[in-house]
Amino acid sequence: MTGMRRVFRFLAVAVFLGMAYQTYGNLVEEYKNGLVWKEPAIVTTSPNKPPSDAIVLFDGKNLNQWKNGDQWIIKDGYAITTNTDIETKQSFGDCQLHIEWATPEKIEGKGQGRGNSGVFLMGKYEVQVLDSYQNKTYFDGQAGAIYKQWPPMVNACRKPGEWQTYDIIFTAPRFDVYGQLVKPAYITVIQNGVVVQNHSELQGGTFYHQPPFYTAHEEKLPIRLQFHKNKTKFRNIWIREISEVHPIGCVCPE
């Protein structure tokens, strides 16, 4: 009988709690912030293909989207840095940039002399490209660094000759009508699937010969890829323009 009493007590408590929860649930109203949002656009994705809203900057066939693109060598679906920097004909501000790169398989030089190149957002803010696999250099100048400002959080470099990926999220700086900085630039970098820069705040343009500083500029500018006397390779480059999400209205309580 003792066992049966315990069962009945358990059932009674369960029924009581269920009734209490139902009653309490009816008394609690769902929280609504009152903000009205625009419906998010649909973007389709497929493995190893750019998102449906991406602008393809290099698909392995030609560099028609780039100024001075005819100066670089295209071979087997990739481009080899040659003679000069190249920059996009189109200008960009806030963006998501995907780019794949590889340093020369044959090791020549050391430090900054191995597979050196760079991805310059707006032509001013550099994410360093370098062979940093067992190759010591100053930390804020190795692969994944925001040049001379922030070293990468970790060294995620693969061996020379192996293809590597950068997925870069860039927020452009904002200036007021008088040219004064209102909001600095921010960069997130994912290298080979590993976060190496996490919303890092830029102190200004990235320079070799002087400290960083900001100079007011347009809201959108070209992206530049650097020729640094090394035969660095690039392929599969695409970009998505992104923008901040803001409510389009408010349903205020009466």
Q: Which of 92, 55, 100 has its CA nearest to residue 236?
A: 100
Residue 226 reports pLDDT greater than 60: yes
Burial call 198-212: b when 16+ CB within 10 Å, e when fewer: eebebbbbbeeeeeb
78 with 144, same domain: the answer is: yes
CATH no. for residue 232? Answer: 2.60.120.560
What is the domain range of residue 10? 2-32
Q: Is residue 197 part of a domain?
A: yes
**Residue 123, pLDDT above cutoff 60:** yes
| Percent of residues, the chain, with pLDDT higher than 70 | 89
Domain contains 39: no
66 and 108 together in one domain: yes
119 and 208 fall within a common domain? yes
Distance CA 70, CA 213 (A): 33
pTM summary value? 0.87
How far apart are alpha carbons 184 and 146 in whole angstroms? Answer: 14
Confidence grade of residue 3 (pLDDT, cut at 50, 70, 90): low
pLDDT beyond 60 at 216: yes
Please tell me the predicted confidence (pLDDT) of residue 197.
98
> Which range has the worst mean pLDDT, 107-116, 129-138, 175-184, 188-197?
107-116
118 closest CA partner among 110, 127, 109 = 127
Q: Is the dihedral of CA 97, 231, 58, 125 positive or negative?
A: positive
Amino acid identity of residue 75, one-letter, is K
Q: Do 19 and 114 lie in a common domain? A: no
Would 252 be classed as within a structural domain? no
pLDDT, one tens digit per residue, over 167-210 is: 999 999 999 999 999 999 999 999 999 999 999 999 999 999 99
In a domain, 40, yes or no: no
Is residue 75 domain-shared with residue 186, that is, in the same domain?
A: yes
In a domain, 41, yes or no: no
139 and 27 in one domain?
no
Residues 61 and 169 in one domain: yes
Residues 140, 27, single domain; the answer is: no
Taking every pair of Cα atoms in the chain, the longest distance, rounded to a whole number of angstroms, is 93
User: In this predicted structure, what is the pLDDT of residue 6?
Assistant: 65
Q: From 198, 196, 189, 126, select the one nearest 156 (Cα to Cα).
A: 196
Domain count, the chain: 2
Do residues 25 and 101 both lie within one domain? no
Q: Is residue 49 part of a domain?
A: no
207 and 83 share a domain?
A: yes
Chain segment 56-85, per-residue pLDDT in tens: 999 999 999 999 999 999 999 999 999 999
Task: Let me know if residue 85 belongs to a domain.
Answer: yes
Residues 6 and 113 in one domain: no
Q: Are residues 22 and 64 in the same domain?
A: no
- Give mean pLDDT, residues 217-245: 96
Q: Is residue 42 one of the residues assigned to a domain? A: no
